[in-house]
């Protein structure tokens, strides 16, 4: 704005100077209508953002409140709903339903619209299933399954009668006890339930039988190929002394697993020519014998 003309009225000389960039351009004054429209747009964006944030907070709280603690009873009628569909991904914004409208979809979380991505969507959830028969060992399996559900209240454990869920080919044939693990709508593991007693030790200890069977079931469910250990929180039934001993056993198991991974890794990159290091090897021998220079592997293999 010119110093001689404090208003918006300018001269040809000022316009020529602004054309060549010698003077700054005149800012057009914002009218009340433009200002009100801008403020309304900003307020609408803020309200939409707060509504999405509040809906996301409610969804997080509702997910945290979902606890089971006891196995869910299943039959042939509700098996697909309670196990197969429940193990699928929680992302409800599918491609087919995205063009239908802006309203909430059935089977989705609260206040979830197809145009907004689900922040808590995953590839699926693990649902272990125990199907028992009329044998005496099934009593211990049911008690161990209840113990697992108590240890991991956030995991949905399902239990049912094998004759009511599995369909045998003949009337004389009875369905055996089985342990199933569903993830993403598919059965990723199927084991006979009686096989859990083969690796069970019957030593005299303070743990109950169902606690030892539950620990064996944890190892079996966490050993699925291609999947990580989803049963992490372990609550032992014995005293604090046994808790410390179990922690030490877990540490030794993790160390042995890391050493096995180290041997496999070195055998792959060296073509099977790497030697197996023992605990008595010195640090200098380890530095000379290793064929990698990554500090990440050094920390992982310790």
Here the tokens at position 73 are 């009873």
Query: Hey, which bits of 137-239 come out as E strands?
Result: 158-161, 178-183, 186-192
| Residue ranges of the chain whose pLDDT lies below 70 | 1-8, 63-66, 90-122, 168-172, 199-206, 233-302
Here the tokens at position 200 are 């069970």
Burial class (CB in 10 A: 0-12, 13-18, 19+), 213: buried
Q: What is the pLDDT of residues 192-247, one digit of tens each?
A: 988 887 766 555 556 788 888 888 899 889 888 888 788 875 544 444 444 555 55
Topology given in CATH for the domain delimited by 66-89+121-224: Glutaredoxin (3.40.30)
Check if the beta carbon of residue 119 is closer than 8 Å to that of residue 111. no
Residue range(s) in the chain whose domain bears CATH number 3.40.30.10: 66-89+121-224
pLDDT for residue 285: 47
pLDDT for residue 101: 41
Helix-then-strand count for the chain, H and E: 9, 5
């Amino acid at each position: 704005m010119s110093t001689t003309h404090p208003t918006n009225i300018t001269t040809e000389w000022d316009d020529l100077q602004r054309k060549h960039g010698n003077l700054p351009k005149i800012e057009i004054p914002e009218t009340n209508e433009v200002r009100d429209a801008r403020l309304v747009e900003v307020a609408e964006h803020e309200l939409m953002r707060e509504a999405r944030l509040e809906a996301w907070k409610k969804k997080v709280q509702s997910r945290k409140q979902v606890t089971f603690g006891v196995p869910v009873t299943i039959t042939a009628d509700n098996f697909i709903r309670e196990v197969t569909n429940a193990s699928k991904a929680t992302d409800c914004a599918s491609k087919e339903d995205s063009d239908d409208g802006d309203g909430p979809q059935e089977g989705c979380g609260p206040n979830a619209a197809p145009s907004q991505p689900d922040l808590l969507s995953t590839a699926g959830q693990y649902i272990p299933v125990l199907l028992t028969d009329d044998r005496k060992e099934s009593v211990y399996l049911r008690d161990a399954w209840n113990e697992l559900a108590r240890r991991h209240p956030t995991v949905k454990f399902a239990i049912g009668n094998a004759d009511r869920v599995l369909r045998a080919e003949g009337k004389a044939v009875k369905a055996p006890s089985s342990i199933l693990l569903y993830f993403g709508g598919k059965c990723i593991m199927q084991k006979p339930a009686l096989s859990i007693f083969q690796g069970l030790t019957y030593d005299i200890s303070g743990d109950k039988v169902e606690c030892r069977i539950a620990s064996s079931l944890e190892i079996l469910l966490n050993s699925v190929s291609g999947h990580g250990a989803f049963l992490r929180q372990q609550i032992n039934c014995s005293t604090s002394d046994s808790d410390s001993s179990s922690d030490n056993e877990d540490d030794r198991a993790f160390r042995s697993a890391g050493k096995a991974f180290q041997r496999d890794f070195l055998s792959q990159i060296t073509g099977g020519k790497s030697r197996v290091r023992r605990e008595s090897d010195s640090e200098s021998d380890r530095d000379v014998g290793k064929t990698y220079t990554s500090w990440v592997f050094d920390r992982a293999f310790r």
